[in-house]
């Protein structure tokens, strides 16, 4: 029996869909955490992303006159290029900075002042910041939709949308799967976001593969996995469980998250996926990686049909095209 709150939400969602001609409207919303959107809203984004993949020509001008600001207080290649390419392919324009040294942040300008100022010039903002919670704080002052493009070791919701879309395309659905997450589970924001998002789908089981020092944080176990009755197992050896996995999500050990370089050097080669380990896996395994990689996936694996990480990169651009379109209300 649904609670009053759940019933009220479903009624409101239904009315929104009916009143908008069957389309779920996300115009003006922020995306800070993967759980900011319902499963129905995520599905709507994925369906639009797939529509864009099939017919890019129909979407090339829908953001004419719109401007995206990319505020990257931390280095990025894929995420920043993906956002910028997404907006340009939709016919919009892009302004912003790729590191804080080229902005008034160096003069001591606060996040609220930066966001209020930039929000006066643009229609939507994508923000990456090394401090956890900074995009959430910024969204309180933003006059336009704000997307969290990664905050420290906390969340990376658009990478999660990318991951979910890739799983959806390779497995046809996002249910009844055993997901192996391998590498840096302590600092990996993509891991934290993915676990939170997948916890809302049916019959998902996690196998968490990491050294003791890089295990998933306790709050993920208590507030997400245990609270939602999600089955999970923690192991240290990839080869012991790779044959049980439907999805293998590899991550790098992140040098920039370590305070002690000696600890990084000791742990950086903990897991390397090569052909020998892959020979033990299912024939329909899907290998994902948020990239960049260092050496955790051998280059020989790239030619294996189970390697999905470069398709995953392209999916990231399409899902951001869909997200921008939805938040701006142009689709």
Active site residues: 78-79, 107, 128, 156
Integer Cα distance of 105 and 125 in angstroms: 16
**3 state SS of 64:** coil
Is the preceding peptide bond at 292 cis, omega within 30 degrees of 0? yes
d(CA 63, CA 185): 37
114, 104 in Cβ contact below 8 A? yes
Cα–Cα distance measured from residue 224 to residue 198, given in angstroms and rounded to the nearest whole number = 10
User: For residues 250 and 232, what is the distance between their CA atoms, to the nearest angstrom?
Assistant: 17
Q: Phi-psi category of 251—alpha, beta or left, where left has phi over 0 and alpha has psi -120 to 50? A: beta
DSSP 85-142: HHHHHTT-EEEEESSGGGSGGGGT--HHHHHHHHHTT-SEEEEEESSTTHHHHHHTT-
Distance CA 323, CA 26 (A): 9
- Say if residues 142 and 125 touch (Cβ distance below 8 Å): yes
Distance from C-alpha of 268 to C-alpha of 263, rounded to nearest angstrom: 8
Based on its alpha-carbon atoms, the radius of gyration of the chain, rounded to whole angstroms, reads: 20
Residue position matching structure tokens 């864009």: 52
């Amino acid at each position: 029996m649904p609670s009053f709150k759940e019933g009220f939400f479903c009624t409101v969602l239904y009315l929104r869909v009916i009143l908008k001609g069957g389309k779920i409207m996300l115009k003006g919303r922020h995306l800070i955490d993967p759980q900011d959107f319902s499963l129905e809203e995520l599905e709507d984004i994925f369906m639009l992303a797939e529509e864009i993949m099939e017919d890019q020509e129909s979407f090339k001008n829908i953001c004419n006159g719109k401007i995206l600001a990319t505020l990257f207080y931390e280095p990025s290649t894929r995420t920043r290029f993906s956002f910028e390419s997404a907006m340009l392919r939709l016919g919009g324009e892009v302004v912003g900075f790729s590191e804080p040294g080229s902005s008034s942040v160096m003069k001591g300008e606060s996040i609220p002042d930066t966001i209020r100022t930039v929000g006066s010039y643009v229609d939507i903002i994508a923000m990456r910041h090394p401090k956890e919670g900074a995009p959430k704080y910024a969204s309180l002052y933003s006059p336009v939709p704000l997307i969290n493009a990664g905050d420290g070791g906390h969340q990376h919701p658009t990478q999660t949308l990318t991951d979910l879309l890739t799983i959806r395309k390779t497995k046809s659905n996002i249910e009844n799967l055993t997901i192996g997450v391998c590498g840096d589970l302590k600092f990996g924001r993509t891991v934290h976001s993915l676990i939170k998002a997948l916890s809302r789908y049916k019959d998902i089981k996690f196998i968490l593969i990491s050294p003791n020092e890089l295990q998933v944080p306790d709050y993920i176990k208590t507030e997400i996995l245990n609270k939602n009755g999600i089955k999970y197992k923690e192991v240290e050896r990839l080869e012991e469980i790779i044959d049980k996995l439907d999805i293998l999500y590899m991550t790098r050990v992140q040098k920039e998250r370590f305070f002690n370089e000696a600890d990084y050097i000791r742990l950086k080669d903990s897991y390397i996926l090569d052909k020998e380990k892959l020979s033990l896996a299912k024939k329909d395994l899907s290998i994902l990686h948020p990239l960049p990689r260092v050496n955790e996936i051998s280059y020989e694996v790239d030619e294996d049909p189970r390697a999905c990480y470069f398709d995953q990169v392209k999916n990231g651009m399409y899902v951001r095209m869909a997200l921008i379109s939805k938040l701006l209300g142009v689709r």
